[in-house]
Structure 1
Amino acid sequence: MNRSALLAALCCLLPLAACQTDSRQQVLATDKSQVALRAVQTRAFDTTDRNLTIRTVIATLQDLGFVVDKADEVLGTVSGTKMSGYTMRMTVTVRARGTTQMAVRASAQYNITAVSDAEPYQQFFAALEKAMFLTANEVD
């Protein structure tokens, strides 16, 4: 009885092992070089106010239809999800770049695949640049 139960359990679990995806394959699955992708994902802004930059990132994500899932002021990260016929998750990191700038890097995933197409990043940064300009000039 014990042996047949073990055999039945193995038969049930074996097909599940074939469905597992290798996370290393997902990380290396981008079709652009990492340097080129980083250049698309990163912009520098002439400000030293990290908190204001994070708040502007949150507002920009919301304006683009993202629901902000998590914002961590200490780490300087904001994550949001957009669900309109598809699921896109974007994580934005804000960090100091020298003494006069903030570097903002966005990383997007479509379902479980990293987004290497420049268009979503260009849309995000175009909206963020406008918002940063308006915020810097105190226009509401």
Structure 2
Amino acid sequence: MNGSARKRGAVAAAVGLALLTGLGGCQTANDVAMKVGAPPEGAVKLRALETRRFDTTDEKAMLTAASQTLQDLGFTLTESAVDLGVLVASKQRDAEEAGEVAGRVALSLALALLGSYQPPDWDKDQTIIVMVVTNPAGSGGQLDVRVSFDRTIRTHQGLTRTERLDDPAIYQGFFAKLSGGVFLEGHAL
């Protein structure tokens, strides 16, 4: 066998091995069918955290109370579609923490001593975004209020990342203030 034929054989073997390896990781049609329409893992828990049911059908009054609650919490209303039952608000906050800065600088120096310098980068500021959505809850004269808190963090070097805030205390605090604002009891779903 000459060198050219040997190279072609080696390439064919490599391609065949790659195909077999790829096929081993494929999902069957049944696996995919089982996942279609299924809620993502943790969706039910997240919905319970984010949603409360109120004994009212007055969406306008609920959105007014939600707007006032957000303003009391230091948010600025950025978007409002009362006809659709949607409010969006945001606030800017410092995200710099001395421990993180010191740790990032120390890591950068340690890497530099090992010959691999990486400039230190740490969280600088953040924008916290909250969205409130109201929906009539069936025919029982109730209203569902769902709120979500997210934040976009900008680092010292200008990079950004977005993450959901899922601390139950944030949601409980919001709904406690909202319930007080509308003098209605919010029921956990």
When the two chains are superposed, the root-mean-square deviation of aligned CA atoms in Å is 1.4
- Counterpart residue number, 1:110: 151
1:118, 1:33 → 2: CA distance? 14
Quote how far apart the aligned CAs of 1:82 are.
1.7
Structure 1 unaligned spans of 5+? 1-31, 135-140
Matched, 1:71 2:111: no
1:95, 1:82 → 2: CA distance? 25
Matched, 1:129 2:179: yes
Quote how far apart the aligned CAs of 1:98 are.
2.0
Quote how far apart the aligned CAs of 1:61 are.
0.5
2:92, 2:180 → 1: CA distance? 24
Rg comparison, structure with higher value? 2
Aligned identity (percent) is: 36
Matched pairs, number? 103
Q: How does the TM-score come out when normalised to structure 2? A: 0.52
Matched, 1:87 2:127: yes
Runs ≥4 residues deviating over 6 A? none
Q: Out of 43, 49, 64, which is 2:58 matched to?
A: 49
Q: How does the TM-score come out when normalised to structure 1? A: 0.69
2:148, 2:44 → 1: CA distance? 13
Structure 2 unaligned spans of 5+? 1-40, 95-125, 153-161, 185-189
The C-alpha deviation readout for 1:2-46, integer Å capped at 9, x for no partner, is: xxxxxxxxxxxxxxxxxxxxxxxxxxxxxx711101100000000
